[in-house]
């Protein structure tokens, strides 16, 4: 479903992604783990067609980025730590607006379904600026699934959420995954990622350095796996700035 080869992204003189390779099968839920500044958000923004790669090949559902970006956006839902919602519009108006942007037929029925999904039906006519952070994030998920995308990208969706809101968000994420959607989620929260994802990839210094399936990695050992992956990359970076063999496959 997602295939990335030799991806390079530079901001000025700084190379943020260095020859990054990444594959996701349809229906997989991949947690992308890594320290701050590893390049997770930049990578997700390239997958979301919000950023252009300097080099490399990116394909989503067979469509190439950035050449076929409009086709990719049709099958993509994105949730970031910002809600991407208008505070001066109601929940319903926000969804109606995005429904028009995605060309959704019969939007009212679909808006009702989505508001039920994220548990905001009773607040549908309230302005988004009156919502708590958790409610805004739930509505952000509603916005992202409105056009029923095949692939969903979540960029640290739990950031700033309290415990209850995080649990509710987990429920929605599980439901999205249970519907067979392909999910890529960046996270700092290993426990949460361990609970939700079917595969864990570690990204460090702009490269995917390790990848392991849930079956091979008990949740209790995820932290050790993560630390080992990061330290190998750190050591490799110290010895040589480019060492393609530093990727662990488990």
Partner 1 sequence: MGGEVKIATSPSKAVIRKPTSFYLRTVWAIVWKDLAAELRSRELLTSMLVFALLVILIFNFALELDPRARFNAASGVLWVTFAFAGTLGLNRSMAMEKDRGCLDGLLLAPVDRSAIFFGKALSNLFFMLIVEAIVLPIYSLLYNINLFNPGLIAVVLLGSIGYVAVGTLLASMAVQTRTRDVLLPILLFPIVIPLFIAAVKASAGFLQSLEMSEIWPWLNLLIVYDLIFLAVAFMVFDYVVEE
Q: Which CB, 78 or 236, lies closer to partner 1?
A: 78
The answer to whether 110 contacts partner 1 (rule: CB under 8 A) is yes
Beta-bridge mates of residue 222: none
Shortest spacing between CB 42 and partner 1, in angstroms: 8
Residue found by looking up tokens 């999910």 in the block: 183
Interaction of residue 166 with partner 1, rule CB under 8 A: no
Stretch that binds partner 1, among 50-58, 201-209, 214-222, 234-242 (CB under 8 A): 50-58
**Nearest distance, CB of residue 128 and partner 1, angstroms:** 8
**Cross-strand partners of 32:** 186, 201
Using an 8 Å Cβ cutoff, are 45 and 30 in contact? no
x/- contact string, 125-164, with partner 1 (CB under 8 A)?
Answer: --x---------------x-xxxx-x--------------
CA–CA gap between residue 83 and residue 227 (Å, rounded):
31
Per-residue contact string for residues 87-106; x = within reach of partner 1 by CB under 8 A: xxx---x---xx-xxxxxx-
Query: Residue 41, interface with partner 1 (CB under 8 A)?
Result: no
Build a one-symbol-per-residue string for 196-235: x at contacts with partner 1 by CB under 8 A, - elsewhere.
----------------------------------------
Least Å from the CB of residue 52 to partner 1: 6
Taking a C-beta distance cutoff of 8 angstroms, is the pair 97, 74 a contact? no
Angle at 138 between CA 135 and CA 141, to 5 degrees: 155
Among 17, 38, 91, 114, binds partner 1 (CB under 8 A): 114
Task: Give the β-pairing of 182-187 and 151-155.
Answer: parallel
List of residues contacting partner 1 (CB under 8 A): 45, 48-52, 61, 63, 66, 70-76, 78, 80, 82-89, 93, 97-98, 100-105, 110, 113-114, 116-117, 127, 143, 145-148, 150, 175-176, 179
């Amino acid at each position: 479903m997602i295939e990335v080869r030799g991806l390079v992204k530079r901001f000025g003189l700084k190379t943020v992604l260095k020859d990054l390779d990444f594959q996701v099968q349809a229906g997989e839920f991949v947690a992308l783990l890594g320290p701050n500044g590893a390049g997770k958000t930049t990578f997700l923004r390239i997958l979301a067609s919000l950023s252009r790669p300097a080099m490399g090949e990116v394909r989503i559902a067979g469509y190439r980025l950035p050449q076929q970006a409009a086709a990719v956006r049709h099958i993509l839902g994105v949730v970031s730590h910002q809600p991407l919602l208008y505070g001066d519009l109601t929940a319903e108006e926000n969804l109606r607006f995005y429904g028009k942007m995605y060309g959704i037929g019969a939007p009212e029925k679909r808006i009702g379904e989505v508001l039920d999904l994220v548990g905001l039906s009773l607040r549908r006519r309230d302005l988004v600026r009156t919502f708590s952070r958790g409610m805004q994030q739930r509505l952000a998920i509603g916005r992202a699934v409105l056009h029923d995308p095949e692939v969903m990208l979540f960029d640290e969706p739990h950031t700033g959420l309290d415990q209850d809101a995080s649990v509710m968000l987990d429920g929605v994420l599980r439901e999205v995954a249970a519907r067979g959607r392909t999910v890529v989620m960046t996270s700092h929260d290993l426990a949460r990622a361990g609970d939700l994802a079917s595969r864990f990839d570690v990204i460090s210094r702009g490269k995917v350095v390790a990848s392991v399936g849930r079956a091979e990695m008990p949740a209790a050992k995820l932290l050790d796996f993560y630390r080992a992956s990061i330290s190998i990359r750190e050591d490799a970076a110290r010895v040589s700035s480019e060492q393609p063999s530093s990727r662990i496959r488990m």
